[in-house]
Amino acid sequence: MPELYHTAAKRVVVIPAYNESSVLTSVANSLLEKGYSIIIVDDGSNPSLSSHIQSLPVYYLRHRANLGQGAALQTGFDFAKKLNPELVISFDADGQHDVNCIPSLLEPLLRNEADVVLGSRFLSAEKTNIPFTKKILLQIARGVNYLFSGLLLSDAHNGLRAFNRAALDKISITENRMAHASEIIFEIKKHGLRFKEIPVLIVYTDYSKKKGQSSWDSIKILFDLILHKLFK
């Protein structure tokens, strides 16, 4: 067990990471500047990410095999519970989220108006350059999530989220791969958690597009969701 460093900082950011480059280092640095504690979960990257984060004051966990983003997130959440945080934030490693969006994300939690806050790229007033096929797929995904969960959200798969302690304790992600984004919505519904969507900016860089999901992946997600419901 590592000693509990930064116990004063009760806001913990979980970053699931798989085969990331130096972008991860700059993402971590931008979060550290704002005073967040960081948990990086290396999802079996090859080579290991430890060289990128060696000099950074972060918690580092490593899966010995690649399991998927959902599994990495849950491992991060399990570890976060040991740090006894007030709030937990999930943040993508590829640099597509903006650190400056976090305060508006945390506000509803701090005012005790929500247990979970989900980032949405479609609520943002500023026009983001969402690629066209991505837009269509996300609309379909919204519909699928609605069919499965009964909750209609404006964005389906956004990695930027914030949870309070109650939500952290209740939500349990069993979908190892990308279907976890829908599973989180099922969990919100199942446990009757209060949730809110907040506009966030997504920056599509060539790097994040390359790391992101293809259209084929969305078929796999749908398949995982059907199996999730079948084999509960």
Partner 1 sequence: MNGIQLVLLTGVAFICLFIVIQLKKKLLDLVLLLALVAAAVLFILWPDLTTKLAQKLGVDRGSDLVFYISILIFWFVVLKLYARIRQLEKSFTQIIREDALKKASGPSSNEPDSK
List contacts with partner 1 (CB under 8 A): 1-6, 37, 41, 44, 53-65, 67, 71, 74-75, 78-79, 174, 176, 227, 230-231
Judged by CB, which is closer to partner 1: 77, or 163?
A: 77
Minimum distance, C-beta of residue 110 to partner 1, in the bound complex (Å): 24
Minimum distance, C-beta of residue 12 to partner 1, in the bound complex (Å): 12
Minimum distance, C-beta of residue 231 to partner 1, in the bound complex (Å): 5
Burial of 32 per CB tally in 10 Å (0-12, 13-18, 19+): middle
Judged by CB, which is closer to partner 1: 57, or 150?
A: 57
Minimum distance, C-beta of residue 1 to partner 1, in the bound complex (Å): 8
Judged by CB, which is closer to partner 1: 13, or 198?
A: 13
**E-strand spans in the chain?**
11-17, 37-42, 59-62, 87-90, 116-120, 161-164, 195-199
Query: What residue has token string 């990471």?
Result: 17
Judged by CB, which is closer to partner 1: 59, or 195?
A: 59
Judged by CB, which is closer to partner 1: 16, or 119?
A: 16
Residue ranges of alpha helices (H) inside 83-177 are 102-110, 132-149, 165-170
192: left (phi over 0), alpha (psi -120 to 50) or beta: left
CA 98 to chain centre: 13
Minimum distance, C-beta of residue 127 to partner 1, in the bound complex (Å): 38
DSSP classification of residue 202: B
